Structure 1
């Protein structure tokens, strides 16, 4: 499936507005924590100097058991997708959908043709769905917007000589223990992209990184503007990669899982279809006339993410971020008043 008929540049931030409770953006609310905000504020004293990535790169390398040469720091995951689109020269690029649309948008903007491998109704990866001739494959894990976590073995099975497999793990720290992550394994030909945006509430800071073979990292670095990652972002990368921060994120992931499962059960109990086995910080929900429901919720002060801008979904899908229990219950109450 190909084409530009879907607005690939529509993201959750376009859904929010003044006075709306935000269930549209997949960024953890109430963040960053005080200790992290203090360190970021303190870094302002060093802004006269050019950013120095060395400490942050070492911290990421230690976090995932990689060498420093396998780490490229980026201004968020979005920059990583743009750099890959500029550096790689695929003859047959395939994006596995439904998933975050920015990788496909970046590839198209760089002049590449893109094919779409759309997963079946359960949205679980079948490596056979990817054409044998693909020399670039992009997949999310866990996947935005479906919240499906693919087995590491299935993702790794996509790798083969002459093919680059890009795995967007922006939501992997939502999964306690990260058992399906390829960051520490990094099979040959696999590129892993990570982000600090979601768990630490740093969308405005732009902090992420790429894990890849040293040769590809070097090529990406050549294409990257000088000093692309700011000093405050480098401080955040270093701090969030520390063992204490990883442990804190793990604790949150456990708590998130409990509340996510409760919210999913509540919605399912109302006769809605929630994509099963959700493992990220959001739920993908099928509901008749989802766009109409979205509009009604906006009138009542709640923003949710439309699903029809994700290839492989359509007008009967919504993505709903998981918030704290009180906020989730308030949304459920309004949905009940609307007969949902």
Structure 2
């Protein structure tokens, strides 16, 4: 039987992970995305589903504010340490990179696996520091989610084990989509990764659409605040962190699911999705929605579409705003 695009991506990922992890193994996972970025939450949940399929036990999860090496050792005395995948391996998002380097420095005696990332370093002191820290670790694996990034990572970090691996958001699997009340959802990022100038989309073929970005609102915003209570307690009283870990773990899972459900509800509003966010493109594809995707500042969307995301039905890449407008025109006309 011929596998579909999603099954191919998932099988390739599971094959790569099974070469690094052993069924029944106990691991730690650091850098939980404790913020309102639904794409990072989708990656986290995809990772957890892959690890569950492999029979790997995740016995410690922590975000950057609650990461504590002693707590990690108490809950996972042996075994690999995994670092959350995403798009923050580099000098653009310094807080996440600093956490990555801290974990690598804290555990020179453990296997460390960086789950699939995109690399985004400029030459300079920040890169030199990363090369020094990562180069000193004797057992570091860097999973990189696009082929061009693999080559650059091997050049910059020659002592690491660098392996191509698809973005792990695909591990979340297919998502049911409801009836869309609008023509389209335009979901665009407005941070340092945005490539957009002052030029804006002109959506003249569509009468009904919304233009927005990720973020929690209403009931889901209130629910998120409640789910952060265990983390606030353990941050204020670190001595309780190990004892309260089961509650904190459930809170992390609920926070991530809440973010993804918000994203699904946003994309469900349109028959077509137009976006410059990678994981809005991935989620739309998982929902079976047609999506027009434009690039971001570091080229990660075009790279991943070219490598494997473009195999998903309904995914169309537009190199410019004008070509995105033309793609929208062709969809509605």
Tell me which of the two structures has the higher relative contact order, counting C-alpha pairs closer than 8 angstroms and 6 or more residues apart.
1
Q: Going by fraction, where is helix more abundant, 1 or 2?
A: 2
